[in-house]
Amino acid sequence: MTFTETDLRAAAAAGALDSAQLAGLLAFLEQRSASLPVAIQAPPQLDVAHLLWYAGALIVMTAMGLFSTLAFSQMGGEALAVTALVYAAGFAAAGHYLWHAKGLRTPGGLLIAIAVSMAPLAVYGVQDALDLWGQFGKPGTVQGFYVWIKGSWILMEVAAILAAVIALRFYPFPFIVVIAGVALWFMSMDLAPWIAGTDHADWETRRRVSLWFGLGTLVIAWAVDWLRRGDFAFWLHLFGMLAFWGAVTSTSGGTMVDKALYCAMNVVLLFLSVFLGRKVYAVFGVIGIALYLGDLANKVFRDSLLFPFALSVIGVAVIAAGLLYYRHQAAITAWLDTNLPDALKRLRPAHAG
């Protein structure tokens, strides 16, 4: 449950707290909030100002990235690199000023994130100017970075990840992790040609690379969760699950035993969502279980009028399971806190405890 100062004052007005208790409680909460690391302090409310800040940041990132035109790329490598560096320096300076001088961490952090997002563009400009494309050749215009899979993008992705890590060291703003998460997701696809040693790796190679890269990203996400004890790992969990779960789900064919193991894996994801306090695992787990049950129903009720009814029953059962978990969520968490061995408890992120 979440309480505000208004709630506490209302409780005092109703006689539940006397004035001395109210003053002592407010002083304690204010001192505790100030002593918490930035990573786990209460996030700002999503009001109109915050929506405008985030929208503006995304517009700038989009303008310099996803919708970069052919004409923009034809400026030449030197001009591209200089443009990216000027943008990065300007936004970094403005973000630093808002962050430290004005105490405006949300707009300041967003400006720092924009500066970080310039790293791939700057690296593209340097590679284009010096013709450092390696064995795969020039992958096309900078716009293709967000569309085409090719090994030549690897250095741009590495630059984005390094820039995000450096920025997070000085400006612990969770949205910066989005840039690293996107770059990691792209890298999981672009590594396949490097491993296969060809311009275009086959589907199975890409799937295996995605699987192991996603698994590695999930390990990093858990480590960030556990070490920082704050909500910096959400996007890593999301992109890691997209890569790992997507690779496992896209496995073609498979015996009934293989599919049963797939269902068991998704059940494990549900338990992991409780253990780690991350709903993203529950989302993918539920989708995976529904896919397995739908495939099973298709085999059992193939060409039968009962097929849509069977799927309906599965959908209702999934909803009922969600309601059941919602009703007993507190009891499940309490049971875990009571019965988990101390060694496992130490592996749980602070927010899941």
Which of residues 309 and 241 earns the better pLDDT score?
241
Q: Which two tokens stand for residue 135?
A: 């064995």
> Is residue 110 a contact partner of residue 54, using CB atoms and an 8 Å limit?
yes
AA letter at 54: Y
In 3D space, the residue among 281, 275, 283 whose CA is nearest the CA of residue 333 turns out to be 275
| Band (162; pLDDT cuts 50, 70, 90) | very high
Neighbours of 156 (CB within 10 A): 24
In 3D space, the residue among 118, 100, 98 whose CA is nearest the CA of residue 108 turns out to be 98
Q: How far apart are CA 31 and CA 339, in angstroms?
A: 33
The residue behind tokens 């390094």 is 162
Mean pLDDT, the chain, integer: 75
In 3D space, the residue among 283, 287, 182, 187 whose CA is nearest the CA of residue 239 turns out to be 182
pLDDT tens, position by position, 217-239: 888 888 887 776 556 778 888 88
| Band (198; pLDDT cuts 50, 70, 90) | low
Q: Read off the pLDDT of each residue in 88-110 and give the average, rounded to a whole number.
A: 89
pLDDT tens, position by position, 286-299: 888 888 877 777 77
Please tell me the predicted confidence (pLDDT) of residue 94.
Answer: 92
pLDDT tens, position by position, 60-76: 787 776 545 455 566 77
AA letter at 121: L
pLDDT tens, position by position, 242-289: 888 888 888 766 778 888 888 889 888 888 887 777 888 888 888 888
Coil, helix or strand for 48? helix
Q: Give CA separation, 78 vs 7, 121, 134, in Å.
A: 58, 11, 19
pLDDT at 41 over 50: no
Q: How far apart are CA 340 and CA 275, in angstroms?
A: 10
Share of the chain above pLDDT 70, in %: 71
In 3D space, the residue among 193, 201, 183, 118 whose CA is nearest the CA of residue 152 turns out to be 193
Q: Read off the pLDDT of each residue in 19-33 and give the average, rounded to a whole number.
A: 76
Which of residues 204 and 142 earns the better pLDDT score?
204
